[in-house]
A = this chain, B = another copy of it.
Amino acid sequence: MGVFGIAVAPKSEINAAAETYSALFALQHRGQESCGIATSHKGIINFHKDMGLVPDVFTAKHLEALQGNLALGHVNYLTADGNQRVNAQPLVLSHINGNLAVAHNGALVNGLKLRNEMERRGGIFYTTSDAEIIAHLVVRERVWADSIEDAVKRTMQYLSGAYSVIMLSRNKLIAFRDPNGFRPLCMGKIDDSIVFASESCALDAIGAEFVRDIEPGEIVTVENGAVNSMKSGINARKSACVFEYIYFARPDSVIDGVSVDESRKEAGRCLARHNTVDADVVIGVPDSGLSAALGFAEESGIPYGVGFIKNRYIGRTFIQPSQGQRQRSVKIKLNAIAAAVRGKRVIMVDDSIVRGTTCARIVSLLREAGATEVHMRVSSPPFLHPCFFGTDVPDREVLIAHNHNLEEIREIIGADSLDYLHFEDLPQVVKGMNLDFCHACFTGDYSVEVPNKVEKQGLEEGVSTCEQ
């Protein structure tokens, strides 16, 4: 998921909704399932949200209707709870002190527990999103709190897990980040207007300059052009998600002080340092494996090559071929460039292996294109434990690395050799990061208490919309 917010300076002519639209487009890689924009105008919050990609959901007419100097946007991915229109964000609601829009990136560890507590007191939920749980708490605390930011601070005492949240009230834009700092959140500036975004690439997209990252546990409020910061005061182990660098984020983003592109290249370099195999070319699996492949080539001296072409029009609903067709070919989305690999010993770099099936197909693509050897290098350590913080990784049972040793995996994917990023190299990969990072998916060492398994809200007794 990705969030973006903007508080246009009082006399600026910047169009809040239009900038949010461009920024969400830059964050589209963080969620393709649904998206939405809310704006605050004279105390009324207008919004539009729907299933689909940013350019498909919004028309010029929508943007025109979304007036106001404060805007909030969200892109959502498909969660295990299914294709739920009701879960599109921002959530927009009214409460005793006015209206509120809420957009959330992350995953609460104690969401179900909090929800059940509120339900036991007569609470109503329309969605299965953590955003609604956070909204309920903030509104409940708002009754006694001096301000919305005070209510946020009180709410943070209850929450456990990952949450980078932006909220919109009548006059304020409020951004806050969980005390562990699981998910990224940064602040930028465009003229005198303030923006918040999940990644700095969204700042670039609208021509804003990067100011700083929101700190773990920090609450930043913008009102009438003035920026205020307060701290939640909660002590927590800093635990920035390392998978943002490996897979999630765009390479042109800089998160918590580290360039995503540079960290990927460094991962490639680390892999190269452990390499013992002789090869003719190093290629990356697009898109997230490219930087690591380049780093590997740099460090090893083996030439870098472009071995795959990805259809640049994917990302929209493609009618799946029948089973027969699928078996004949997997080349619709990704094709090998025979000229680049034929007769060569190839080192192929990808960011991770989850189930192993996709990986096996890609190895096979290279062999069909004439590669004589395929050596697989993975720019992250083996994935052994589930993530409770919003990466939507499947349960332990299906993780190939949980069930097989290195040699078995190599055989399953059909590679000539296989190596993962060594866990000890991780600090080097994110060198310069001004936080500690979360490595629970590799080590099982969670920085907050977690349940035995990932619980999905509403799966058994759910509210669901029809597929369309």
Interface positions of A from 105 to 132, Cβ below 8 Å from B: 116, 119-126
Q: Which of A230-238, A300-308, A384-392, A400-408 contacts B (4 or more CB under 8 A)?
A: A300-308
Interface positions of A from 209 to 241, Cβ below 8 Å from B: none
A331 within 8 A of B: yes
Q: Which of A310-318, A420-428, A448-456 contacts B (4 or more CB under 8 A)?
A: A310-318
Q: Given A252-B335, A316-B56, answer yes or no on A18-B305 (Cβ-Cβ < 8 Å).
A: no
* A355 to B18 CA separation, bound complex (whole angstroms): 28
The 8 Å CB contact of A339, one of B206, B262, B338, is B262
Q: Given A252-B338, A304-B304, A319-B21, answer yes or no on A124-B205 (Cβ-Cβ < 8 Å).
A: no
> Are B58 and A329 in contact, CB atoms less than 8 angstroms apart?
no
* A464 to B94 CA separation, bound complex (whole angstroms): 10
> Are B99 and A119 in contact, CB atoms less than 8 angstroms apart?
no
Min CB distance A449 to B, Å, is 24
Interface string of A319-332 (1 = CB under 8 A from B): 10110110011011
Q: List 20 A-B contacts (CB under 8 A).
A: A25-B332, A26-B311, A46-B465, A47-B463, A47-B466, A48-B468, A92-B126, A93-B125, A94-B461, A99-B461, A99-B462, A121-B143, A122-B140, A250-B335, A252-B309, A260-B339, A261-B306, A261-B339, A304-B304, A316-B316
* A54 to B332 CA separation, bound complex (whole angstroms): 13
In this complex, how many residues of chain A approach chain B with their Cβ under 8 Å: the count is 114
Q: Given A206-B328, A309-B250, A466-B47, answer yes or no on A59-B96 (Cβ-Cβ < 8 Å).
A: no
A298 within 8 A of B: yes
* A96 to B464 CA separation, bound complex (whole angstroms): 17
The 8 Å CB contact of A95, one of B66, B124, B324, is B124
Q: Which residues of B contact A122 (CB under 8 A)?
A: 95-96, 136, 139-143
**Chain B residue at minimum C-beta to C-beta distance from A316:** B55
> Are A298 and B290 in contact, CB atoms less than 8 angstroms apart?
no
A447 within 8 A of B: no
Interface string of A269-308 (1 = CB under 8 A from B): 0000000000000000001001100100110000111100
Min CB distance A366 to B, Å, is 12
Highest count of chain B CB atoms <10 Å: which of A13, A250, A287, A332: A332
> Are A461 and B206 in contact, CB atoms less than 8 angstroms apart?
no
* A328 to B195 CA separation, bound complex (whole angstroms): 15
Q: Which residues of B contact A393 (CB under 8 A)?
A: none
Interface positions of A from 329 to 355, Cβ below 8 Å from B: 329, 331-332, 335-340
Q: Which residues of B contact A139 (CB under 8 A)?
A: 122-124
Q: Which residues of B contact A463 (CB under 8 A)?
A: 44-45, 47, 92-94, 99
Q: Given A25-B311, A339-B261, answer yes or no on A61-B204 (Cβ-Cβ < 8 Å).
A: no
> Are B329 and A466 in contact, CB atoms less than 8 angstroms apart?
no
The 8 Å CB contact of A13, one of B22, B317, B324, is B324
> Are B205 and A331 in contact, CB atoms less than 8 angstroms apart?
yes
**Chain B residue at minimum C-beta to C-beta distance from A39:** B466
* A315 to B312 CA separation, bound complex (whole angstroms): 8
Q: Given A98-B461, A298-B303, A461-B43, answer yes or no on A22-B325 (Cβ-Cβ < 8 Å).
A: yes
A interface residues, Cβ below 8 angstroms from B: 13-15, 18-19, 21-22, 25-26, 28-29, 32, 43-48, 53-56, 58-63, 65-66, 86, 91-96, 98-99, 116, 119-126, 135-136, 139-143, 170, 190, 201, 204-207, 250-252, 254, 259-262, 287, 290-291, 294, 297-298, 303-306, 309, 311-319, 321-322, 324-325, 328-329, 331-332, 335-340, 458, 460-468
* A52 to B83 CA separation, bound complex (whole angstroms): 22
* A291 to B126 CA separation, bound complex (whole angstroms): 45
> Are B126 and A126 in contact, CB atoms less than 8 angstroms apart?
yes
* A298 to B340 CA separation, bound complex (whole angstroms): 13
The 8 Å CB contact of A329, one of B95, B204, B304, B468, is B204
Q: Given A120-B96, A251-B337, A335-B204, answer yes or no on A466-B66 (Cβ-Cβ < 8 Å).
A: yes
Min CB distance A217 to B, Å, is 24
Q: Which residues of B contact A121 (CB under 8 A)?
A: 143
Q: Which residues of B contact A317 (CB under 8 A)?
A: 55
Min CB distance A394 to B, Å, is 22
> Are B25 and A337 in contact, CB atoms less than 8 angstroms apart?
no
**Chain B residue at minimum C-beta to C-beta distance from A85:** B48
Q: Given A28-B311, A122-B140, answer yes or no on A464-B207 (Cβ-Cβ < 8 Å).
A: no
